[in-house]
């Protein structure tokens, strides 16, 4: 089976808007990466997808002129081969490694999260993921309740569990992400409550984390604020440095908020619930 890979170069605002529209139009996953002064937007779609129709539908939904794009095929075996070649053990810190299944953990004394790349976002290699991993290492306490909103592969929720957190909820709007998260949790011997957002039960959390995109994060502020207990902490990533002030401003109404780590053009926004 060969996946359809669609690549577009757009400015930041267009790329962010179109990425959401592509998901709504039927793309299986999207990724944004800086490309000089532009953003490279890559979308994966099912083998049967009509790339031109998908892009046209997404552009129409957000009132964009049809953008230029390129299409390629990505076979399952090529996906696996490319992933295995590019994804080796990742040292997050002295005590934490992300290790794919085909590697032996480099440090037997460290915490090792076994995680294979897949269609769901989150292997630990992206700066935005590493920023939240660092946050978790600094702030997870035994028995903390943690909410990972937009869990992708489940990497953040799994690390929270391995660091000693108690009840952990991992939610995502993408059924593929929920399936991947559940599989990765089982492979690491940890227990998570994996659910779609609308199926998440009531309650607040000690730590709320979300590694998504700036636009959705701004829109989600009321929801995420309602899920953070008073005095609880929040960490937001997937934010370009140029977007950090906007996200921080949106969350300042309910949190003592600050722009934290900035690395390779990506920012972490973190704070404490009032």
The pLDDT assigned to 9 comes to 95
User: Is 27 in the same domain as 128?
Assistant: no
User: Is 166 in the same domain as 266?
Assistant: yes
Range of the domain at 252: 121-273
Q: Whose CA is closest to 262, among 218, 245, 250, 272?
A: 245
Which regions of 59-203 does DSSP assign to beta strands (E)?
70-75, 90-93, 96-99, 111-114, 146-149, 168-171, 193-195
251, exposed or middle or buried, with CB in 10 Å at 0-12, 13-18, 19+?
A: buried
Residue after which a domain boundary falls, among 54, 77, 100 = 77
Is residue 84 pLDDT above 70, yes or no?
no
Longest dimension (CA), the chain: 54
Residue 99 lies in a domain: no
User: Is 67 in the same domain as 139?
Assistant: no
User: Is 129 in the same domain as 263?
Assistant: yes
The pLDDT assigned to 76 comes to 57
More confident residue, 174 or 125: 174
How many CB atoms are located within 10 Å of the residue 1 CB?
Answer: 10
Residue 33 lies in a domain: yes
User: Is 46 in the same domain as 130?
Assistant: no
> Are 29 and 119 within 8 A, CB to CB?
yes
Q: 257-271: per-residue pLDDT in tens?
A: 999 989 888 899 999
User: Is 186 in the same domain as 269?
Assistant: yes
| Average pLDDT estimate for 84-103 | 73
> Are 224 and 234 within 8 A, CB to CB?
yes
Residue after which a domain boundary falls, among 57, 77, 97 = 77
The pLDDT assigned to 75 comes to 66
> Are 59 and 10 within 8 A, CB to CB?
no
The pLDDT assigned to 140 comes to 97
User: Is 70 in the same domain as 185?
Assistant: no
CATH number of the CATH domain containing 129: 3.40.50.150
Residue 188 lies in a domain: yes
Residue 142 lies in a domain: yes
User: Is 28 in the same domain as 127?
Assistant: no
Residue 107 lies in a domain: no
Q: 206-259: per-residue pLDDT in tens?
A: 999 999 888 899 999 999 999 999 999 999 998 988 899 999 999 999 999 999
CA angle 160, 32, 81 (to 5 degrees): 75
**Per-residue tokens: 98:** 């992300």
User: Is 266 in the same domain as 187?
Assistant: yes
Residue 116 lies in a domain: no
More confident residue, 160 or 12: 160
User: Is 154 in the same domain as 206?
Assistant: yes
User: Is 72 in the same domain as 190?
Assistant: no
Residue 105 lies in a domain: no
Residue after which a domain boundary falls, among 41, 57, 77 = 77
The pLDDT assigned to 24 comes to 79
Split into its structural domains, the chain has a count of: 2
């Amino acid at each position: 089976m060969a996946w359809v890979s669609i690549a577009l170069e757009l400015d930041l605002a267009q790329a962010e808007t179109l990425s959401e529209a592509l998901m709504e139009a039927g793309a299986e996953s999207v990724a944004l990466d800086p490309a000089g002064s532009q953003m490279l937007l890559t979308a994966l779609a099912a083998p049967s997808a009509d790339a031109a129709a998908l892009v046209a539908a997404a552009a129409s939904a957000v009132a964009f002129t049809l953008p230029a794009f390129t299409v390629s095929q990505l076979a399952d075996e090529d996906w696996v081969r490319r992933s295995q070649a590019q994804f080796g053990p990742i040292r997050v810190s002295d005590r934490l490694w992300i290790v794919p299944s085909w590697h032996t953990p480099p440090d037997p004394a460290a915490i090792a999260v076994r995680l294979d790349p897949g269609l769901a976002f989150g292997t630990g290699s992206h700066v935005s993921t590493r920023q939240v991993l660092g946050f978790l290492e600094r702030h997870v306490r035994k028995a903390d309740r943690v909410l990972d909103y937009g869990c992708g592969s489940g990497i953040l929720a799994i690390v929270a569990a391995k660091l000693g957190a108690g009840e952990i909820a991992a939610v995502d709007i993408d059924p593929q992400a929920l399936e991947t998260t559940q599989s990765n949790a089982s492979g690491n011997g940890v227990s998570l409550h994996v659910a779609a957002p609308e199926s998440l039960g009531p309650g607040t959390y000690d730590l709320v984390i979300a590694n998504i995109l700036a636009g959705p994060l701004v829109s989600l502020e009321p929801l995420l604020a309602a899920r953070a207990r008073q005095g609880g902490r929040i960490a937001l990533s997937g934010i370009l440095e140029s977007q950090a002030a906007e996200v921080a401003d949106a969350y300042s109404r309910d949190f003592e908020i600050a722009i934290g780590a900035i690395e390779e053009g990506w920012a972490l926004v973190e704070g404490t619930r009032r």
